[in-house]
Structure 1
């Protein structure tokens, strides 16, 4: 309804200007919003306030002039009010809302955000966990966030590529290799000290056992550096396979996996460092090579090559991100853990030094998850020895519940995830509450079919009986969905869609308890079947945008 009201306001302003009753040079794009208090109308605008200086008139006078110039031939507006210093509140007619319902039903699954992307290419890089262990619940929240963002952007008409950056080079892979080697030697009958910084989880011993079964005692007499390199690489590949499997069970698939080791081996990283050198952005100090990050707004300069000649992780990330730009994406989105917040400016600095537009890079930070069971913290996983894995959560509550819970707060806010609450099939469980609304409507259709009621063809005649506040209120909320979804995509905030789905489910459940959908009144039954069809359609679409299923039965 906002676009419709904006058009009416713009047309009124043009008439007022043409008639000389309002002296303004340009017609603004009026800001229209849903008032926080429903008593203030369906929509409100502050356009009279924004025009006061240019028109040199009090805002309330401008508001009255604007209202006198509105031509509402279709009977969209029921009443208007000039409030406060010059706000204009609008109440739409029931007939306007009924016509909106017909538009929603006619649009079907296409009802949603406007196609603002126009095919522009977006890359969303998310999860990107080191292949040194299973995914933990923090990775799960990042996965849910990144995939929901990708889905929202696709719904807005962008061409989206999902990518996972595999950190399979450097120190952590050597630590993994030493950890596996220690367990391998233990299994082979040797007493060895486990590395102090090693990975203690059961999975390390499982991988060591696989190697012993496959290769026998081959690695016992191999030089340590050779064994560590080989075992680290094998373990990384096996763990990446498990990560892929966990993500697949979470309903997430990537278009591309990019290997850090591959970027180092093919010269991508060194080429980026050399380009920085040629641009005069590097200097030597204490045998290391430093990037002048402070020249681009960072709080200190950063090392790109250590004194022993080894490239830093930062250097690899520079090379990776520079390569992304060269691949032709219009927008780059990185979903990072909140502990990487200090990394954002240094990455932007390096990209600017390389001649890449840092404004095309957007970083979405994801805060930690506090896992509880009936309010008691759950701190240790069974297999990792350190943390609760995503796999353990999926096995206990399933992908739908996990995804929804991970998206119930803004990504940069800490999240409390109660496993017991997630398992309850009651209104206390927000996922059950939303999915049950969809299921309940499916049940209404089954009930109607059992009584021989045929789904009506949408028409103004059929919906003309919809008039009570419960019915019109549902249509009002349905009308908000396209803007909510588009705003969620533009702000990179998928939690907005989850909030909306909860509101819509709540409104439907209240409607259901106060109104019979299938009754002896054939006209009311037909109209309400169309109404709940639209609700079911929008709940299903909202859930699909965040990767959650909309079941027909529960």
Structure 2
């Protein structure tokens, strides 16, 4: 019996009590929450439904709990019900009902854990977004792993998700990019301190462009800069896209900032926002009164010289997302963008939206990498840049994605190259993947012995009564809740921690509960039941790793 099935059983019991007049309620809740108690001596699950309904029913919560407990004891699959404290119901499942979960998981396969929790949400998830003026670096890599995993989690919880990359291809940095490439192509050094791009990749990129377009250096200087800017933009963006695809990070939309300016969306921002009454003029400039909604200062939309600000483009982009029907619009930004949280939320409020529902801004802290005990230094413009491709080469896609996803983005993170490339239990991705491959090995060994788990009719779930088996089943039952909670709280790392706990429980089960028959013994019903449990665990580990964009190897 899954937690969802148990929840439905409790809800059905409430409805039956109302139908036969034992309980008076004008409205019955759509769902009932059942949770794992902290102390397993209190039962397999607990629910506070009696406390929830006591006021509407006009009954003391403990009396209401006793009424429901008496009826729940008659439900097939429930072995016992106790009333605790002011009216909590502690539920104990029958061994067969608990064990049935293993069969259910195997039969559901890749669908196990998925739900419709956020089916009403049409989410725009923007992450990684970078200037197309250089390679993606280690900071972008963190969001590539976490953002993509969050998208997978939200989809698993029922949301309609669009992954979007915002191309920062407007503004003076693009001119500086073109000038930097032109200088390098002509054999000149890029001067320091002028906002130009000095990284070693600029020289390589300029050379690659020249090989494809050798006549560019013969153009007048202004035309050269424009030509190198255009060619460099296309090439660098393509390289970013290739790096992200190699990292298993796919985007549905690549949105160009430049198109907002070309379409007139940026120019029209002031008029659109003025409809809500928060736009004003002062000192010849046009402002948005974001302090009305908690921002630390009001924001300029149009400068006194008529120039549109970058914040104006931010407004146009948000309005564009909302015009496309997205809510919530989730922004995943780096630690140096912490000041954007207040202004973006205030901007949404100024447009007439609910800043608590329609927009979210997540901030990820810094990440660094160490190898042989020494930090690998970051410097975006001098050439000593740790790129996404470097991370893949040094650590590998699986280890990098897992390590980046398993730490809360609220915390700074250190990636230890030596640890993450080791094959030992201290390496978390190896630990989880090894548990999965260990189960695959059991299946191969079973096949060599000439037996498998048998059919669903052969499965005897009541035999899975060992404490290790009960603990494993209890953890397996939590997987759908873990997905929904991690998606709702935007805490991808909870999935990784769950998988590590699952792997630990499986290793304990493997040690204490023999799965394969010993020696010349013939396979028993218990061996087959344990094969079902092992395959169910393998399914959950594989599903969980897939949510993080990490492979589940059959052999290691």
531-540 or 305-314, which deviates more: 305-314
Cα 1:498/1:192, change in 2 over 3 Å? closer
Q: CA deviation at 1:214?
A: 5.0
Q: Is residue 293 of structure 1 aligned with residue 295 of structure 2? A: no
Q: Is residue 147 of structure 1 aligned with residue 148 of structure 2? A: yes
| C-alpha contact 2:8 2:32 (8 A) present in aligned 1 | no
Mapping for residues 94-133 of structure 1, pairs under 5 Å = 94-118=95-119, 121-133=122-134
Q: CA deviation at 1:398?
A: 1.1
In structure 2, what is the Cα distance between the partners aligned to 1:529 and 1:191?
Answer: 66
Q: Is residue 531 of structure 1 aligned with residue 533 of structure 2? A: yes
| C-alpha contact 1:131 1:167 (8 A) present in aligned 2 | yes
110-119 or 388-397, which deviates more: 110-119
Q: Which residue of 2 aligns with 1:484?
A: 482
Q: Is residue 302 of structure 1 aligned with residue 302 of structure 2? A: no
Q: CA deviation at 1:404?
A: 0.5
In structure 1, what is the Cα distance between the partners aligned to 2:384 and 2:247?
Answer: 22
Q: CA RMSD for the aligned pairs?
A: 2.8
Q: Which residue of 1 aligns with 2:71?
A: 69
Q: Which residue of 2 aligns with 1:167?
A: 168
Mapping for residues 153-232 of structure 1, pairs under 5 Å = 153-185=154-186, 187=187, 193-213=191-211, 219=217, 222-223=220-221, 225-232=222-229
Q: CA deviation at 1:33?
A: 1.5
Cα 1:83/1:423, change in 2 over 3 Å? same
Q: Which residue of 2 aligns with 1:506?
A: 504
Cα 1:213/1:17, change in 2 over 3 Å? closer
Q: CA deviation at 1:183?
A: 2.9
Mapping for residues 261-280 of structure 1, pairs under 5 Å = 261-277=258-274, 280=277
In structure 1, what is the Cα distance between the partners aligned to 2:536 and 2:267?
Answer: 55
Q: Which residue of 2 aligns with 1:257?
A: 254
40-49 or 476-485, which deviates more: 40-49
Deviations 1:470-497 (A, max 9, x none): 1222122111111211222222222222
Mapping for residues 309-348 of structure 1, pairs under 5 Å = 309-348=306-345
In structure 2, what is the Cα distance between the partners aligned to 1:382 and 1:341?
Answer: 20
| C-alpha contact 2:475 2:502 (8 A) present in aligned 1 | yes
* TM-score normalised by length of structure 1: 0.90
In structure 1, what is the Cα distance between the partners aligned to 2:211 and 2:19?
Answer: 87
Q: Is residue 548 of structure 1 aligned with residue 545 of structure 2? A: no
Partner secondary structure for residue 270 of structure 1: coil
In structure 1, what is the Cα distance between the partners aligned to 2:103 and 2:65?
Answer: 32
Q: Is residue 349 of structure 1 aligned with residue 346 of structure 2? A: yes
Q: CA deviation at 1:379?
A: 2.0
Structure 1 unaligned blocks of 5 or more: none
Structure 2 unaligned blocks of 5 or more: none
Partner secondary structure for residue 69 of structure 1: helix
Equivalences, count: 549
**Aligned counterpart in structure 2 of residue 240 of structure 1, from 230, 233, 237:** 237
Q: CA deviation at 1:118?
A: 4.3
Partner secondary structure for residue 162 of structure 1: strand
Cα 1:463/1:235, change in 2 over 3 Å? same
Partner secondary structure for residue 177 of structure 2: helix
| C-alpha contact 2:96 2:460 (8 A) present in aligned 1 | no
In structure 1, what is the Cα distance between the partners aligned to 2:373 and 2:81?
Answer: 49
Q: CA deviation at 1:66?
A: 3.0
Deviations 1:305-325 (A, max 9, x none): 234433222111211121112
Cα 1:141/1:15, change in 2 over 3 Å? same
Cα 1:409/1:318, change in 2 over 3 Å? same
Cα 1:510/1:241, change in 2 over 3 Å? same
